[in-house]
Every structure is written in structure tokens, then in C-alpha cells.
Amino acid sequence: MEFDLKCTLLFNKSLNDAREPLTDFVQEANKSNPEKFHIQSWLIEDNKLSLHLLSRDVIRAHVYLLQLKKKLDTLLGKKNHLGLRGIKLDDYHILFDLDTIPLEEIKIPFAQIDIKKKTVSLRIQDKDEEFLTQNYIDRMINLVREKAHFQRYKGKKEDWKLLWESSQKKPLWFKDPTEALSHLGWIEQGPTKGKWFFRPPAAAIMCAMAQIAIEKVLQPLNFQEVIPSMHVPLTTWLKTGHLEGMPGEIYYISEPVTRDVKKWETFIDLLKIKKEIPIKEFSQMISTPKAGICYAQCPNIYWSFSGKTIAESSLPLLLYDRSVPSARYESGGRHGIERVDEFHRIEIVYIGTKNQLLDIKEKLIEKYRMVFNDIMDLEWRMAQVTPFYLQQAGQIIEEEPNAGTIDFEAWLPYRGDRDTPWLELQNVSIVGEKYIRAFNIKTQKSILWSGCSGIGLERWTTAFLAQKGIDPKKWPPSFQKFLSDLPSSPEFL
Ligand code: SER
Ligand code: ZN
């Protein structure tokens, strides 16, 4: 890396009497590490000192400058009663190499970027001292690296490695469950896009799925239920990385600017007169969001442990939430009840030592296997995929071999033969220390790890109905133990 920095230091009064100490100071500084750092020139103009610094490799001129500033402040303060008032970054040019040649142009705020092969030339001009003190520059360099990394990552097909597959099962049905259930009036699309209303028969199937998950997976493994909030503060997603990773997929929540009815009067009057929503007036009455609707349940569960030290005797923590729905702005990807903007999921979170988590992961997989094989009789498979936290976070994270995500997928016969994409039913992840660190969760001695597993109830329902049909009499007897008769649905004339 090469750094070429021009800046101006502002003092409270003229520097004309400080030439001598400054000459000594520069000489001294230039002796400290002549290979890697050099003050190329300096110039006094009344109360301004202009510096031109050159540095390379580990000595980053923008960091070194802050050390020089401190020393200068002490030196000139003592000797010449000068006070340093601030620094202006005039022109900063940084050259550094990427691991690979980027695939597309890279742009970031506050800098001009020019890339020749792997070498990035980053230029920052006319900036205030906060650029130096708030560590913006190192983050800008990292951001360029990250963007180059993600261009490659995006271009790569998702990592997908088959781990296990069930035997083939003869489908009892080749219909799309969403179409069939809609036709029967058991589900209704809406009221807004990507949402569904489940009438009693469809709701009963979803509830049976939840019951199976709880009775056959969670309770036998001693998971305990928690009830988190559905609102997730943006500050929580700043920690998990979701806000960097998928700001365009979150449903944001606005609070009203006031609860005072008087202040809402014009809005109400317009509503009463026009009988339509006065958008302009409305937008003035709601505030900029500080939170969003749950995207995955685990961030709020981690939040609940922020800064806490968990007793070793309480480990592993085995928790699940089934009450909070998740919302994702899906846009083009929506399909039926299996790819929606609002879905119902049981999310399981486990926190413990690495060994405890590897053990719980095996036990969970064993229980899931039993459910899909022995209760639902599905044709399904497991695959190692890109970890969800890499997909959902905009950061580069060093990968830990034992961490990662396993997806459980089922064949949907209505899509065609077995080569068509299978449906992701749920996942099991080991996240390592990522969220533990982000929320500063500790225990007495051990290093903590965490992980989660999300059971999509719409996904379980779709997979089951797609393979077994909607006639309960044809369902596997093991499933009929949970649901054998469907409640009636209203008849529409
Ligand atoms: N948090 C995990 C995910 O978003 C499990 O639900 O996939
Ligand atoms: Zn999770």
C-alpha cells in the first residue's frame, strides 16, 4: 500500500516563530522509519502548517498523522504557546492491491476511484478532521475490498453440496397446492401483496405442522419457548449486518409523529371529506422508521442477551419462538404460499460451547429426519449451502469450517421432474462467534458459539401437500395422528 497525504494544520496564531522547532521535528520524524515514512515537504503560511506525507505498507499516513498531531501539539504548545485548532485533509491518494481484478466498476462515497488491473487508486479531497479521527478511511478501503469480493461472490453460483437424500417416493399428486387451496377457498391472497389469509382447513394444516415441530423436535430436545417483539430496531440489524446486507428487503415501521388528536385533525377532516387517504398529509404525520418488522426471529433473541454473562450452568441455551411472523419484501420472487412477503416460522436459537452446539446440531438433524421420513413420508434431501449469515450480511466474514448452513429441501412434483428446483423447507445453521461478538454475549470461561434453525410452516405445508395431496384420507397414517379431519370452510355463493 502507498499513501500520499497532503493536509493543513490550523493553529490559533502565526507559526512564524516556530520554524526552528518545526525543522527539528520534521528531521526527527524522518529518521524514525525512513523506509516506510517520510515528510516530503512542509510549509508555513501564517497560522497554517501544510504537510505532505508519504508512507507505505503498515504505516498508514492517515493514522500516523494523528500521532504527529499529538506530538506537535505538545511541542509547540509548550515551546511557543501555540494551540492546534484542527486539521484539514486537502488531498489524499492511496494505492492498494485487491486479491483479484474486479468484475465491474467500483464506486464509494467520498472518494474517486480508479482501478488498473488489481491496483486501486483512491483519492479523497477536501475533508474535515472527522475523516481521520472517526476511522472513515480504513472503512473506505475495506469497503472497496468488500465490493470487489462480492462481485465475485455474486457471480459464483450458490455453493450447494448434497449431504444426504431420501429414497424416491411416488407422488400422490401433481398439483400446485396454492392453486388447489385457492380454488377451494381455503386460502385467500392478500390483503396486500405477498400475504395470505388461511381459512380454517388451511390454518389447521399449518397448525399441525407447528404441532409436529414442537412435539417431535423441540420438546424432546428440551427447547423452551420465548416470545420476542415483532419490531426489530435498526440498531440491532446494524449489529447483525442485515442493514448492510438487505436494506431493500425489510418492511420498515413508522411511528406516528404524535398521538395528539388535535394534530391529526386536518388528516381526519380530509379523510372524512374526500373518503380517500390524503397521502401528503399522512406522510407528514409519520416519522422516519427506527425499526422494521422481523426479518428473521434470531436477531431479537440475540438482542435480549446483549451484554449479559450467561452462567455456564445455564448452557446450552435452547430457545424457540413461534409467535412472531417474518416479513420480507420479495418483489419479483413471489410465488404462491411458498415465496411470500409474510411468513410463519418457528425459529430455534442455540447458544453454548462449540461442542454443545455441534452436538445439538446432530440431534436436531436426527429429529428432522424422523419427521420428514416417518411422519410426513417426504422425498427430501439435505445440502450444505452458502451460510444464511453470509447471504444476509454485507460483510466479508472469515469462514470457520464447523460453521455454516444446511438446507433441507423437498421435491415439488408439480414443478416437473426431479431436476426442477426443490423447495427449501428449513435450515440448520451454526453461526460461530459472529452474533455472540456482535451482541457482546459472554459466559464465565468458555468461548460461546451460537446457531439457529428456521422451520418454515408455509414451506412444510407446501412440500407435504405437493407430494401427498389435500385429501386427509390419503395422507400417511403417521401424519393423520396429528390431523385426520379438516374443519369445514365457508361455502361461497
Ligand atoms: N435466521 C435464519 C435465516 O434467516 C433462520 O431462520 O435463514
Ligand atoms: Zn436465525
> Where is the domain boundary, 130, 153, 176?
153
Cα(412)–Cα(410) distance, rounded to whole angstroms? 6
- Mean pLDDT over 142-164 rounds to 84
> Where is the domain boundary, 132, 153, 174?
153
- Mean pLDDT over 13-19 rounds to 93
Domain count, the chain: 2
Please answer whether residues 156 and 163 qualify as being in contact, where contact means their C-beta atoms are separated by less than 8 angstroms. Answer: no
CATH number at residue 133: 3.30.70.1920
CB 452 near ligand 1, within 6 Å: yes
pLDDT of 141 strictly over 60: yes
274 within a domain of the structure (yes/no) = no
- Nearest ligand 1 atom to the CA of 345 is 6
Q: Which residue, by CA, sits nearest to atom 4 of ligand 1?
A: 296
401 within a domain of the structure (yes/no) = yes
Give me the catalytic one of 298, 338, 345, 458.
Answer: 298
Q: What are 231-245's pLDDT values in tens digits?
A: 999 999 999 999 998
CB 388 near ligand 1, within 6 Å: yes
- For residues 210 and 337, membership in a common domain is answered with yes
Residue 151's pLDDT is: 84
pLDDT of 171 strictly over 60: yes
Cα(118)–Cα(95) distance, rounded to whole angstroms? 10
Cα-to-centroid distance, 296 and ligand 1 (Å): 5
pLDDT of 118 strictly over 70: yes
- Mean pLDDT over 207-223 rounds to 98
- For residues 147 and 164, membership in a common domain is answered with no
Q: Which three cell numbers stand for residue 113?
A: 476511484
- Mean pLDDT over 149-165 rounds to 81
Give me the catalytic one of 60, 146, 381, 452.
Answer: 452
Residue 355's pLDDT is: 97
pLDDT of 338 strictly over 60: yes
- For residues 324 and 348, membership in a common domain is answered with yes
127: nearest Cα among 72, 75, 82, 65: 65
- Mean pLDDT over 47-56 rounds to 97
- For residues 235 and 129, membership in a common domain is answered with no
267 within a domain of the structure (yes/no) = no
pLDDT above 90: percentage of residues in the chain = 89
- Mean pLDDT over 458-479 rounds to 98
- Mean pLDDT over 68-78 rounds to 92
- For residues 174 and 129, membership in a common domain is answered with no
Residue 399's pLDDT is: 66
- Residue 19 bears catalytic tag: no
Alpha-carbon distances, residue 75 vs 8, 18, 69, 83, 201 (angstroms): 17, 10, 10, 10, 81
- Mean pLDDT over 13-34 rounds to 94
pLDDT of 396 strictly over 70: no
Alpha-carbon distances, residue 107 vs 22, 96, 121, 150, 394 (angstroms): 39, 15, 12, 13, 16
- Mean pLDDT over 333-346 rounds to 94
Cα-to-centroid distance, 360 and ligand 2 (Å): 15
Q: Domain limits at 439? A: 158-254+289-480
- Kindly indicate the confidence band of residue 434, based on its pLDDT and cuts at 50, 70 and 90: very high
What are the backbone angles phi and psi of residue 262, rounded to the nearest 5°?
-55, -40
pLDDT above 70: percentage of residues in the chain = 98
6: nearest Cα among 49, 57, 58, 67: 49
- Residue 347 bears catalytic tag: yes
Cα(89)–Cα(51) distance, rounded to whole angstroms? 10
> Where is the domain boundary, 133, 153, 173?
153
424: nearest Cα among 436, 407, 404: 407
- Nearest ligand 1 atom to the CA of 453 is 5
- Indicate the range of 257-271, 286-300, 394-408 predicted with least confidence: 394-408
pLDDT of 177 strictly over 90: yes
- Indicate the range of 118-127, 176-185, 345-354, 400-409 predicted with least confidence: 400-409
Residue 344's pLDDT is: 98
CB 454 near ligand 1, within 6 Å: yes
Packing angle, helices 19-32 and 61-80, rounded to 10: 150
> Which of 293, 390, 392 should be mutated for ligand 1, with most atoms under 8 A from CB?
392
- For residues 97 and 216, membership in a common domain is answered with no
- Indicate the range of 100-109, 142-151, 300-309 predicted with least confidence: 142-151
CATH number at residue 386: 3.30.930.10
- For residues 381 and 394, membership in a common domain is answered with yes
446 within a domain of the structure (yes/no) = yes
pLDDT of 485 strictly over 70: yes
Residue 203's pLDDT is: 98
Residue 82's pLDDT is: 93
293 within a domain of the structure (yes/no) = yes
- For residues 391 and 461, membership in a common domain is answered with yes
Give me the catalytic one of 322, 339, 345, 381.
Answer: 339
- Mean pLDDT over 293-313 rounds to 98
Q: What is the CA radius of gyration of the chain?
A: 30
Cα(286)–Cα(162) distance, rounded to whole angstroms? 48
- Residue 20 bears catalytic tag: no
- For residues 313 and 382, membership in a common domain is answered with yes
340 within a domain of the structure (yes/no) = yes
- Residue 369 bears catalytic tag: no
Give me the catalytic one of 338, 341, 342, 347.
Answer: 347
Please answer whether residues 423 and 410 qualify as being in contact, where contact means their C-beta atoms are separated by less than 8 angstroms. Answer: yes
- Kindly indicate the confidence band of residue 297, based on its pLDDT and cuts at 50, 70 and 90: very high
260 within a domain of the structure (yes/no) = no
Q: Beta partners for 10? A: 48, 86
Residues with CB under 5 A from ligand 2 (ion): 296, 298, 452
Cα(366)–Cα(371) distance, rounded to whole angstroms? 9
- For residues 107 and 163, membership in a common domain is answered with no
- For residues 234 and 369, membership in a common domain is answered with yes
Q: What are 380-395's pLDDT values in tens digits?
A: 999 999 888 877 775 5
- For residues 336 and 313, membership in a common domain is answered with yes
Residue 210's pLDDT is: 98
pLDDT of 143 strictly over 70: yes
488 within a domain of the structure (yes/no) = no
For residue 189, the SS3 value is: strand
